[in-house]
Amino acid sequence: MSINPKHVTSFLTLVGTAFAARSAITRLVQARDDRDRLELLDAALNMAVLLTGVLVIVRRLRRGEEA
């Protein structure tokens, strides 16, 4: 079993997105601790964008498309 070279970019994007999600979660927790509503909203929206990105990548991988 070998990795299809066309999917390498999607896998790398997925890994990068996972690291960005970790950062967004940290910001979300910090904003909640600081009770900063604007930062909390920004962090929550970033999480929504990251989730959407992950779902798009997963769909592309399932369909066999390039990133």
Q: What would the mean pLDDT of 20-41 be, rounded to a whole number?
A: 92
Residue 2 falls within a domain, yes or no? no
Residue 65 falls within a domain, yes or no? no
pLDDT at 55 over 80: yes
Residue 1 falls within a domain, yes or no? no
pLDDT at 52 over 70: yes
Cα 12 to chain center, whole Å? 12
The pLDDT score that the predictor gives to residue 31 is 93
Please give the structure tokens belonging to residue 29: 């927790």
pLDDT at 2 over 70: no
Residue 64 falls within a domain, yes or no? no
pLDDT at 6 over 70: no
In angstroms, how far apart are the furthest CA atoms of the chain?
A: 50
Q: Report the number of distinct structural domains present in the chain.
A: 1
Residue 67 falls within a domain, yes or no? no
The domain in which residue 49 lies consists of 7-59
Residue 47 falls within a domain, yes or no? yes
Confidence class for position 57, pLDDT limits 50, 70, 90: confident
Buried b (16+ CB within 10 A) or exposed e, 3-41: eeeebeebeebbeebeebbeebeebbeebeeeeeeeebe
Specify the 3-state DSSP secondary structure of 36.
Answer: coil
